[in-house]
Amino acid sequence: MLQDLPIWLAHFRSQAAHPRLVPTALDDTLTGRERRLIAQSIATFQLGESSQGAHLRAAVRQHCGAQEQHACIEIFDLLIAEEQRHASLLGAFMQDHEIPRRAHAFTDQAFRALRRLGGLEARLRILVTAEIIGIVFYRALEGVTDCRRLQILCRSIAADELAHVAFQSQLLLQMRGGRHGIAKLLTGAWEQCVLSAAALVVFATQRRVLKSAGYGPALFLHDCRSQYAFYLKWPPALRRLSPHGT
């Protein structure tokens, strides 16, 4: 496990004790045009944030073995709770603006199904993919509205998701750090394929918001892959410190 686990545990405990707040005095005006533009997309992402994380929790506990007090278990419990808080904040915004919730969404069902395959590493790979795409989407959503409440809400969620991706990426890099040669190449190629396919599906289903933010499919894919490259490709300094120096 990561040597940085105590630092991450302190971070997520602090976030739980002092969560990011959306000031109540912010302008909360959402025009009819904005509401029609964002309603389906925000409902889809609210549904995605609302997962109970039962399968992920089970995978973490299996990975940690008998160490029930392992810091990693608490970190993931806090991380999942933070995701659920995002769902609650989005749900409150939707309720105030009479945006109906969604019970099902194709992208949400696909991500949930993929997260149930394999052990912790496979689940983390899908989770990181979803959160990287979410970061790019929330930034796009922030740019298509003048509603200050929604803008700050998107900015706050994206900031939390950046920390999630950083932690999960560190864990993934350590898990695959002992691989070299063809195994490492295949792992990287698979991750790139999953990310690219997922990003294009999300673009297709959320294209109204993304196009309004200035995204075409190529630019959206580029920004998602840039986030992936920042977090999940070994920088030269770390590469020299990896177990096999590759």
pLDDT of residue 114: 67
Cα 194 from chain centre: 14
The rounded distance, in Å, linking the Cα atoms of 56 and 72 is: 12
- CA nearest to 150, candidates 42, 47, 224, 48: 42
Which of 147-161, 180-194, 227-241 bottoms out in mean pLDDT, i.e. has the lowest? 227-241
Inform me whether the pLDDT recorded for 246 exceeds 90.
Answer: no
CA distances from 245 to 24, 76, 178, 186 (A): 51, 30, 10, 18
**Can you give the length of the chain in residues?**
246
Which residue in 160, 137, 139, 144 sits closest to 21, CA to CA?
Answer: 160
**Average confidence (pLDDT) over 103-128:** 79
What digits encode the pLDDT tens for the residues 53-112?
A: 888 888 898 888 766 568 899 999 999 999 999 999 999 999 999 999 988 877 777 776
Long-range contacts at 1-5 (CB < 8 A, ≥ 24 apart): 1/64, 1/70, 1/71, 1/72, 1/174, 2/170, 2/171, 2/174, 4/170, 5/71, 5/72, 5/75
Q: What was the pLDDT predicted at 121?
A: 86
159: enclosing H helix or E strand: helix 148-175
> 184 exposed, middle or buried (CB, 10 Å; 0-12, 13-18, 19+)?
middle
Distance, CA of 232 to CA of 226 (rounded, Å): 10
Instruction: State yes or no: pLDDT of 17 exceeds 60.
Output: yes
What pLDDT is attached to residue 116? Answer: 66
pLDDT for 240 beyond 50: no
Using the predicted structure, report yes or no on whether residue 21 has a pLDDT greater than 50: yes
Q: What is the mean pLDDT of residues 225-235?
A: 81
| Three-state helix/strand/coil letters over 105-118 | CHHHHHHHHHHCCC
* Structural domain boundaries in the chain: 35-241
Res 237 pLDDT > 60: no
Q: What is the mean pLDDT of the chain?
A: 87
Position 241 pLDDT exceeds 70 = no
Question: CA–CA separation, 201 vs 76, rounded Å?
Answer: 27
Q: Looking at the domain 35-241, which fold is it? A: Ferritin (1.20.1260)
